[in-house]
Amino acid sequence: MHIGVIGTGYVGLVTGACLAEFGLDVTCVDIDREKIELLKKGIIPIFEPGLEDLVKKNLKEGRLHFSEDVASAIKNNLVVFITVGTPPKSDGSCDMRYVESVAEMIRENADGYKVIVNKSTVPVGTGRWMKEFVNRNVDVVSNPEFLREGAAITDFMYPERVIIGAESEQAIAIMKDIYIPLYLKETPFVITSIETAELIKYACNAYLALKITFINEIANLCEYVGANVDDVARAMGLDSRIGSKFLHPGPGYGGSCFPKDIKALISKSKEVGYDFLLLKTTVEVNQRQREIAVKKIIDALSGEVKGRVIGILGLSFKPNTDDIRESPALYIAGRLIEEGAKVKAFDPAAMANAKSVLPQIRYEKNAYGVAEKADAIVLAVEWSQFRRLDLVRISRIMKERIFVDLKNVYDKKQLQSLGFKYVCWGR
Ligand code: UDX
Ligand code: UDX
């Protein structure tokens, strides 16, 4: 079967490479000519563990192709995946211009029956709109992605479930055929309506963000009542109705999905006349958590950061990615600079992206460069490189020994025994 994938961001690229790995013939297209030229040489413009090898292997074996000819990709393929960006507008609603431009291309070029698959996160109702707008012999399917950056290939190859929102038996049969390698592994398939599949994606992301926000508030409360949030989270997670994942306190969630998907769901709800209070509060609490993190750092330096040197470990929105979209670490760095601090930082993958946003930061080669002569060090992203620092060496090269652990990675007593003033969440 021949598949077209329109949009080669991290979702489009992972989808194309993995479907080719399933043995399908896949053509990935993008309007960004430069990106396509790089991809044709097997050069991947994003940091996603394992993706470069998978792309190169499938390019070599002739199942994966790259092109900027979107029209032909639509004409020549029975199934066309849409994986273009759906970024937020300033009012929080979903910017559909890229999806709409692809829909126009489909209307112009879809000769013969096709299955159009929305994998990008799109507002509820998009599939039905697209079928009417395209007005050709096509079935539209919602097949949302649940890929985490840094684990995207594993999440595609070993999904906990596949969601198919479709109206025709033919489209469902074609989608099952595409995912047959997962079917054989008995991966659960949820076959439902288009609107339901579209809402499932938002519901999952919103719930995960809510869960993180909940443990962040519990962590804050622990500081008032002298409880230990790590033990609370562990005990909560042992209840199978709650589960242990996504109960790690920190400076709030970031990334290219949670912030925009929640705002899009709030906006869509409002548009149809529903006031989604819980999500509006989640957005508010998440923003407050970043400010609480900034205040923690300022308080650790006895309320004055003007002229002080603060080192930050990690700038990406989470480990194993170079993505800085809505990164709490970068937000905090910017706020400390606003407060007059001299900020230096190191990140294993996101420095180039961070430099384009915050050139005022002094970028170091490693964690020890960050610690050198710093008044305080802030662990902002739990990269594995930061989990086993040589703390004795750090304590010797810092000017003052203030350690603000925004991801609760280290042991409080161990740091205090080394003479650090140690600050963390809720313990
Ligand atoms: C995107 C959406 O942002 C996300 O909401 C959804 O869940 C998955 O798809 P991502 O892959 O990160 O996530 O998108 P992005 O990084 O913005 O890349 C989209 C790609 O599509 C870009 O390379 C862009 O050049 C390309 N594109 C955009 C097209 O090929 N055609 C267009 O008309 C518009
Ligand atoms: C998320 C969803 O997990 C994925 O299913 C969806 O397809 C896309 O959005 P991603 O945004 O890549 O994936 O990152 P994720 O690992 O979910 O983390 C999101 C944010 O929450 C990060 O800023 C992370 O630091 C934060 N987080 C995560 C916490 O603060 N605590 C946790 O326990 C888990």
Q: What DSSP string runs through 166-198?
A: -S-HHHHHHHHHHTHHHHHTT--EEEE-HHHHH
- Rounded Cα distance, 11 and 371, in Å: 36
Distance 148 CA to ligand 2 centre (A): 7
The pick from 153, 242, 318, 405 for probing ligand 2's pocket by mutation, whose C-beta has the most ligand atoms within 8 angstroms, reads 318
Question: Which ligand is the nearest neighbour of the Cα of 382?
Answer: 2
Distance 45 CA to ligand 1 centre (A): 13
> How confident is the prediction along the chain (427 residues), in pLDDT tens digits per residue?
999 999 999 999 999 999 999 999 999 999 999 999 999 999 999 899 999 999 999 999 999 999 999 999 999 999 999 999 999 999 999 999 999 999 999 999 999 999 999 999 999 999 999 999 999 999 999 999 999 999 999 999 999 999 999 999 999 999 999 999 998 888 999 999 999 999 999 999 999 999 999 999 999 999 999 999 999 999 999 999 999 999 999 999 999 999 999 999 999 999 999 999 999 999 999 999 999 999 999 999 999 999 999 999 999 999 999 999 999 999 999 999 999 999 999 999 999 999 999 999 999 999 999 999 999 999 999 999 999 999 999 999 999 999 999 999 999 999 999 999 999 999 9
Residues in the chain: 427
At residue 183, the pLDDT reads 82
At residue 403, the pLDDT reads 98
C-beta of 126 in contact with ligand 1 (< 6 A) = no
Residues with CB under 6 A from ligand 2: 145-149, 205, 208, 212, 246-248, 250, 253-255, 257-258, 317-318
Q: Which ligand 2 atom sits nearest the alpha carbon of residue 256?
A: 11
C-beta of 83 in contact with ligand 1 (< 6 A) = yes
Q: Which ligand 1 atom sits nearest the alpha carbon of residue 122?
A: 5
Side chain identity, residue 260: K
- Rounded Cα distance, 124 and 116, in Å: 16
Tens of pLDDT, residues 135-159? 999 999 999 999 999 999 999 999 9
Q: Are 234 and 64 in contact (CB under 8 A)?
A: no
Taking the CA of residue 125 as centre, how many other CA atoms within 13 Å lie in the half-sphere pointing to its CB?
9
Q: Whose CA is nearest to atom 10 of ligand 1?
A: 9
pTM over 0.85: yes
C-beta of 404 in contact with ligand 1 (< 6 A) = no
Name the segment(s) of the chain with CATH classification 3.40.50.720. 2-192, 193-427
Distance 333 CA to ligand 2 centre (A): 20
Q: Which ligand 1 atom sits nearest the alpha carbon of residue 144?
A: 7
Q: Whose CA is nearest to atom 34 of ligand 2?
A: 246
Question: According to CATH, what is the number of the domain 2-192?
Answer: 3.40.50.720
Q: Are 413 and 394 in contact (CB under 8 A)?
A: no
Please give the positions annotated as active site: 257
Tens of pLDDT, residues 300-318? 999 999 999 999 999 999 9
Q: Are 262 and 279 in contact (CB under 8 A)?
A: yes
C-beta of 147 in contact with ligand 1 (< 6 A) = no
Tokens found for residue 208: 């995960």
* End-to-end Cα distance, the chain: 55
The reply to whether CATH 3.40.50.720 applies to domain 193-427 is yes
Q: Which ligand 1 atom sits nearest the alpha carbon of residue 119?
A: 8
Q: How far is CA 118 from CA 34, 78, 322, 374, in A?
A: 25, 14, 25, 48
- Rounded Cα distance, 130 and 316, in Å: 35
At residue 185, the pLDDT reads 84
Q: Whose CA is nearest to atom 14 of ligand 2?
A: 148
